[in-house]
Amino acid sequence: MRITTWNVNSIKQRVGHLLGFLDEAKPDVVCLQELKCQDDAFPRAEIEAAGYAVEAHGQKAYNGVALLVRAPFTLSDVRRGLPGDPEDEQARYIEGLVTGEDVAPVRVASIYLPNGNPVASPKYPYKLAFLERLRRHARGLMEAETALVLAGDYNVIPDPEDAADPSAWASDALFLPQSRAAFRTLLAEGLTDALRACDPRDGIYTFWDYQAGAWPRNFGIRIDHLLLSPQGADRLVSASVQKHLRGLDKPSDHVPVTVELANG
């Protein structure tokens, strides 16, 4: 089973790129973030025509997450919104159970974690609170002992080797000590960073800003992650970054990250 996460930075602008990727890579599950549209504006027909079932949790002009599942896999028990704050109306979380014949079930979540900037605003406490809610929810999900994949744009640079120039991010919400500590606390629940488990090298990035020639200079950061429960980590075969998609015309500033899990 191949599971991909991708912040498309506007599904309407990037639907052509997405359809090309679906045809090229044929992932079984795709976790999308930053749709920037409401559910009725999501290009469902085009994606269904490519062979994927769609479950979306959208929001006008901002945020938005979705799960795409390729037949013969099926998606059930879909839940929208991260528990823990009934007043949080931002569309940043969707999860569901992926099943298929002769394949052990996998619960998959698509997550668009808050950016948190500017740090001196309410956006940063919201980011840290979201991470804590995610930690608590992950603990509850893992009690079922079903393979779990928490995939998405975490807006956290875990370690200095995950940035081309760590000093450039020293005061940014993505790299502040509190953000990195909260991410480590999430991992401490028993989750595995799939990409790092497969490839510990420096210089692996998933995001390049549109400004200051970041892409040509490879001035990137790694902020898109797939975190696996112990049952998921036991099935981990490979993890990879589809970096070439950043070179497309009018690309997203993020690229897909994909893991392959054994059938279990």
Q: Is 9 among the annotated ligand-binding positions?
A: no
- Dist. CA 66–CA 12, nearest whole Å: 13
Q: Is 7 among the annotated ligand-binding positions?
A: yes
Q: Is 153 among the annotated ligand-binding positions?
A: yes
Q: Is 155 among the annotated ligand-binding positions?
A: yes
Q: Is 34 among the annotated ligand-binding positions?
A: yes
Residue 244, Cα to own-chain centre: how many angstroms?
A: 18
Catalytic residue set = 112, 153, 254
Label the pairing between strands 29-33 and 2-7: parallel
Q: Is 253 among the annotated ligand-binding positions?
A: yes
Sequence ranges of the binding site: 7, 34, 153, 155, 253-254
Q: Which residues are annotated as a binding site for Mg(2+)?
A: 7, 34, 153, 155, 253-254
